Each structure stands twice: as structure tokens, then as C-alpha cells.
Chains A and B, each alone.
Chain A
Amino acid sequence: MLIINNVTKGFENKEVLKGINLEITDGSIFGLVGINGAGKSTLLRCICGIYECEDGNITFNDVDTYADEIIRKDIFFVNDDPYYSLASNLKSLKEFYTSFYDLDEEAYQKYLKLFGLDENKQISSFSKGMKRQALLLFALAIKPKLLLLDEAFDGLDPIVRHNLKKALYEFIEENHSTIIISSHNLKELEDICDSYGILEDGKIETYGDLLESKQYINKYQVAFKDAVDESIFDEFELLHKSREGSVYNLVIKGNKEEVVKKLNKYEPILLDTLNVNFEELFIYEHEGGKK
């Protein structure tokens, strides 16, 4: 289990992470979302021990990930812009990783074939997407207990994205590992993640099971015969409200049945309930947080 305990981290005069608390259970795929500059990459770097937390600590299976380098054998970080020296190819990169990790040769060959990469070609000649795949290849072949993917789906074509998702499913199934993926591509995250956390203003205000959250936040289209006093919506945990003619579009956080029951008290002539997707959930939570 990964436990992030009251983690604070800042750069120069800017505090990026302000007392983050989070627990992620083994075997889950956690989607870390947030607007640009929210601190997603910083948090991932703190988790894998690149950055030292100014306050608080991060443990994986009860071991501090910064202080104890041995635990980092079980953690692998794929950053958003991987490093390759000018002349390196997959073989030389393999030399680097096999020096520190136990690399599964069979898995390596399997994913090499899946991603269609040439082992002898210089990585500097790879496209951005191919470079990312190259590092993902090692991440999957090393089989870490905790895999951290920063902007994982960026620069990948649909086929590779599909292959990657498939590979991650297999990876979880075989190794019961934990994956944390940060991405702006919420559609992809929605397909793959079972839990999520929204990083906003240096804190994770919203997190939990993705399916449960999606059920807990719903869109409602409601219209009334006569004009109503909008203060009637005050009793709801309203994340979004807009109006088109006499139809109100509401996004309300709360048990769907209870919300419907409350709205029915005002005898609406129209009441439709729609599910939100992950992207909408993020946008409305972000708007709600701002309010």
C-alpha cells in the first residue's frame, strides 16, 4: 500500500504541494488529474524519491521511498519527457536498467514486439511517441510493484494507446501491482482507472472510487411550469448550474434517488437524469472547488 502522509513540497517561494494525504491500495490503477501546474509531476517525483518532501513522508509497503533506496527496486517512474543520451539505443538503455533492476527478458521481447521498436536504432531518431514507448517497454519488463506514469498517453497514437491499456491490464493482473497515471486525457483514464484523485491548489480535495464518484455526481435537466425562486437549489450540493429558457442544467453531488426525491417536491414538468463522464466530473469538481 502506498501512503502519502501530509506531504509538503515547494520550489523557491512557491508551495506546490500543501499537505497531501492519500492512500492507494495494492492492485489499483489510480488516475491523478489536475490542471496544468497543479503539482501532479511533483507528487510523482516525491513518490519515487527524486524529490525530498519538505514535510511529511511517503511510504510504500511501510518503507520510506526517499530514505530507503532498496524499496525503489519496486518502483518505476516513467516521466513525461524521458532522458536518452545522444548515442543510446534500446540495447544501451537495457544495459542501464538491468544494472539496477531485475528485467524479465521474456516480457521485454514481448513488449518490444508489441510496440514495434527497433532495438539497434538510436533513440534520438525515434519520434516522441516512440521514445515514450521505449521507456514504457522497460517499465513493463521490469515489473515494478508500483508503476508511476506521468502524462502516460501523451504522444501515443490510438493503436499504441490501445496496446498500452491492454498491456497495463495484463500487467496488473499478473503482478497485482499498483499504477498511478497522471494524464490530461481523461477519456483514456476513465477506461483504465478504478480510482482517482483530483489535485487542486496543492491538495487532493477529491478522491475515491471512480465508479462510485461518477454515480454520486449526476447531471439533471429540470424545468418548472412557473418561474421558481432559485434559492430552492441551495439545499443541494450544486457543482454546476446553467439555464436555457425554462430548462435548468444542474450538476449535483449526492445520492441520485435523494436528489430526485427533493427535486420532485417542486413538481417539475421535466426531470431527466444523466450520468457524468470522468472529464465532466473533473470539470465540475474543479468548478465546484473554485466556488
Chain B
Amino acid sequence: MFSMEYFNYLLKSKKYLLIFIFLITLLNIFANRKVGDTLAVEGVLALILCYVLPVYFFYYVHDKKAVDSYYSIPVSRNAIVTTGIIFTIASIFLPLLLTFIIYAIKTPLYIVSTLYYCFMILVIVATLVIFNTTIYLIANNVFDGVVMIGAYTVLPLVIWIMTNYLMTTYVAGNSYYDLTFASYLSPVYLSVYSFVELFDKECMFGYLITLLIYLVVFTTLLLVGYKRRDVSRVNTPSSKFFAYPLVIYIYVFISMFTIATGNNFEYNGVFDFLKNNFILYVLLFVAFVAAHFVYKRKLYLSYKLPLFFIIAMVISLAFTSIFKINEGFGLSQNYKTGEFMRYNYNIWNQDDKEILDLINEHDDEHSYQYSIFIEAVNFDTNSRNKKIKSEYKKETIDYLESIRQEGISYFYHGPRESNSSLSVDTYDNKNYYSYYYSLESDISLETLIMLAQDENVSIVISPDNGFSYYLLPDGSLSINNYLTITY
């Protein structure tokens, strides 16, 4: 599995490059920084090298002449690839390690912490190098290899953006999805994320385990793929399923879903939608044909292209429509519940006479409009550690939940233009989740007083004269000139 002869050859033949990498990595050591600064410059350099070195060191697999030299030497294929990978990882990790140790001595760090950081850096570098090399070897030539690395690096982000767009458009309450979670789906983002948070986050166990899983999976894929690699196909179009075919079709599908998301068939009809998006579809089809040109290195015109395009179009439009009609397949009704919860209700520029009368009792200047801000919270927003054990009153919960249901209904059936909203924030000891609903409701003074009975609820009424009042449980107002709410 490892060839000392090949390692020595790499060491001898790449010595100037290695010296260069060491020097450029160590160059920053003279900057007056500490470990807490997260080795940012070295990290970026290492990240770049994780992309560049696999392409450079494994260049030979995409060169027909070089393949003859490398594959006929008395070293097994497994040994060539394993040695090449170890050499690549070492070329990036060792300069980084040396830099880190110098920082650690300067700081100084505990030996256990130092070992932990070193291990994490090694895992991160190894994951990135092995992932990039595996992807690079899917292709049959250097250009395609680089394209594949780029495509697979960006792909999880594109999928995340598309999913996010789809969910926020069709699932009531969803304002965003956490990128941290999404990063678990991509070895590249997880590696980068881990490196960025290495010195800030206390527990990286989840990251480490996931990275190790990726490491094992991609090492296996690399070894099997390299051994089975058909070298007679070097410098031919990269037609393996996981090369252009998958990449092109998945990107087209994602683009189709992005265009289809937001369709309003029930209001404007299919024809209007297609007319409005005609240019986008034409551009996408041109890009689709162009991608096939890059893939096959010749103009490829087949009935299969428009056929797939139309099928993808129909599927994307059908799915998004069904998704919308079914109110996000029930996803709107679910939300993450946590130990901590907060409801925020906002309504702007209201003119309910009963409430205006109440305001004007306390106000010399006559008010014509007011805004209401209701914060119902069962945790202290200013201190994450200070838990308030009390719970909402049942009436409060029932009422706020009924508003939420109204918001869901309004999301699917209303024009979505509103001057009131409800947001629900939860925290499950790890992550914050936020759900946002536009509303079309006006709260009566009676209901406001009912809500004010709950000690977890703050109701602030702000008339148009610049003052703010708390609504007290007895229905009176208490002036508040310095209202600040921190989140």
C-alpha cells in the first residue's frame, strides 16, 4: 500500500516546491499573532494547496504518455496512489504543523490542546485532499478534472440555495435554513467550517466524526476507483456517470427548480408563467447545449437534449405546484420546539378607536395611529444561561398558536402584503430556529389585556408621537421612554 521508492522519488523531484511551500507558510510566523487568530493566512494558503496540489501531483493520470511511464513501473497502483496522497497531505500539513507548533510555543498551549488541534488540522487537510483527488480522477483529462472539482465544490452550496429558496417560498414560516447543518453534507464546506471554527468552538466532536466518515468513504472510493481506472480512456471525454452526465443534469435540474419556484399558476395560468420566463428557459437550454459541447468537445445535437429539458421542466413545475398546493407537504405545521421559545408579534400603523382612546388618555398630543409590539418569551433573551422556568398561560399559547395558523393560511391564500407579522424563535440548546409569518389581523384591546395577564408577555404600544407604553395586566398603560430589546 505504500512505496518508499516512490515517496523518495517524489521527495527528490519536488524538493524545490516543498521548500517553497514551507517558506511561504512560515513567512507569516513573524507577524505578531497568536493561535487564537486561527492561522487564518496559513489556513487560506493550505486550502488553496488542497486544490492545487492534487491537480499537480496527479497530473500524470490524465496524460497518455505519462500513464505509460507511471503504470509500467514496478510499483502497484494502490501503492502509487496511497504514496501520492500521503505525500500531498504531508506537503500541506507539515508546514502548517510547524507554523502551529511555533504559535503554540509562543502562546503557550497545553500539550493536550496542541495534539488535538494538530489532529484536527490533519483530518481537515486529509479530507480535502482525498475528496479533491477522488473527484479529479473521475474525469479523463486535466481540464475536465478541474471542472469536476469546481462543480462538486459548488454543488452542495447550489443545492442548499435552491432548497432554501424552495422551502422559504412554499413552506410557511421558514425564513432560512442553517448553513452549519448544510455544511455537514459537503466534505469541502465541513472542512473549511471546521478550520474556521477550530479555535473558537469548544466541541468539534460532530465535525470530527463526520469528517472521519468522509475520510473513510472517499479513501475507499479513491483506492477502488484508481485501481479500476481504465487508463485506455485517458484524454477522452469524461463520460463516466459521476463526471459530466451527472453534473450537467443535476445543475440543469437545480436551475429548473429555481425557475419553477415562485410560479403562480392559480393566478396567472401556465401560459403566462412560460411567457414571462421564456428568456430564462432559452438561456438555460443554451447553457445545457454548451455544457454538452464542453463535455463531448463537439457540438452535440440530439433529440435527447430537448426531451430531457422538457421532462425536467414538467417535473420541476409539477413538483413545485404540488408542493405549494399541499402547503409544503405539511411542513408548515411543524417547527422545531426547544426548551426556550419566544413569540414576537408586530403590528404597524393601526387605528383601532378603543386603543387610541386609551393612548390619548395618557397623552397630551393627540395620536391617530399606533404600533404594537408583543414579546412573549419563556427565556431571558439577554442571557442564554439564565433560564426562566415559568411557562406561558394556556390562553397565551392558544391565542398565539391561532395567530400562527392564521399566518399559515394567509401565506398560501393571501396576497402576502401585510403590516403585521408573527415570528417564533426557538432554541434547542444547540441552534436557534426562526419562523416568520405575515399576518392580516388586528388585535382588540380586550385580547391585548388578556395577553398582558401572562407574566412572560410584554406588550409595547407605540403611538405616532414617539412615545412607548407598556400595557399592564389591569389594562392601564405605563410609560416607557427607554425601551430597548436585545436579541
Residues of chain A having any CB pair with chain B under 8 Å: 9, 11-12, 42, 45, 48-51, 69-73, 75-77, 79, 81-83, 92, 95-96, 99-101
Contacts and interface: CB of A to CB of B under 8 A. Distances in A.
B268 interface: no
B65 A82 contact: yes
Interface stretch (B31-39, B71-79, B348-356): B71-79
Contacts of B232: 9, 11, 42, 45, 51
Contact of A83 (B6, B8, B65): B65
Contacts of A92: 13
15 contacts: A11-B233, A45-B68, A49-B71, A49-B72, A50-B72, A51-B232, A69-B74, A72-B73, A79-B65, A83-B63, A83-B66, A92-B13, A95-B9, A100-B75, A101-B74
A96 B14 CA distance: 12
A95 B13 contact: yes
Interface in B180-236: 231-233
A16 B60 CA distance: 24
For chain B, what secondary structure do more than half of its interface residues adopt (helix, strand, loop), or is it mixed? Answer: helix
A99 B5 contact: yes
Contacts of A100: 5-6, 9, 73-75
B67 interface: yes
A38 to B, nearest CB: 16
A208 B6 CA distance: 40
B1 to A, nearest CB: 12
Contacts of B12: 95, 99
- Which of A12, A42, A81, A83 has most B Cβ within 10 Å? A83
Nearest to A99: B9
The list of the 9 closest CB pairs from A to B, nearest first, reads A83-B65, A99-B9, A72-B74, A73-B74, A83-B66, A50-B71, A69-B76, A79-B68, A48-B72
Given A69-B79, A82-B68, A92-B13, 16 more contacts: A48-B72, A51-B232, A69-B74, A69-B76, A72-B72, A72-B74, A75-B72, A79-B65, A83-B65, A95-B12, A96-B13, A96-B69, A99-B5, A99-B8, A100-B5, A100-B9
A25 B76 CA distance: 26
Contact of A77 (B5, B66, B68, B76): B68
Contact of B65 (A76, A81, A95): A81
Interface in B353-397: none
A224 to B, nearest CB: 54
Contacts of A71: 74
Most buried by A among B8, B68, B75: B68
Nearest to B77: A69
A79 B70 CA distance: 12
B142 to A, nearest CB: 14
B143 to A, nearest CB: 18
Contact of A69 (B9, B63, B75): B75
Contacts of A83: 60, 63, 65-66, 68-69
Nearest to A100: B73
Contacts of A12: 233
A191 B76 CA distance: 37
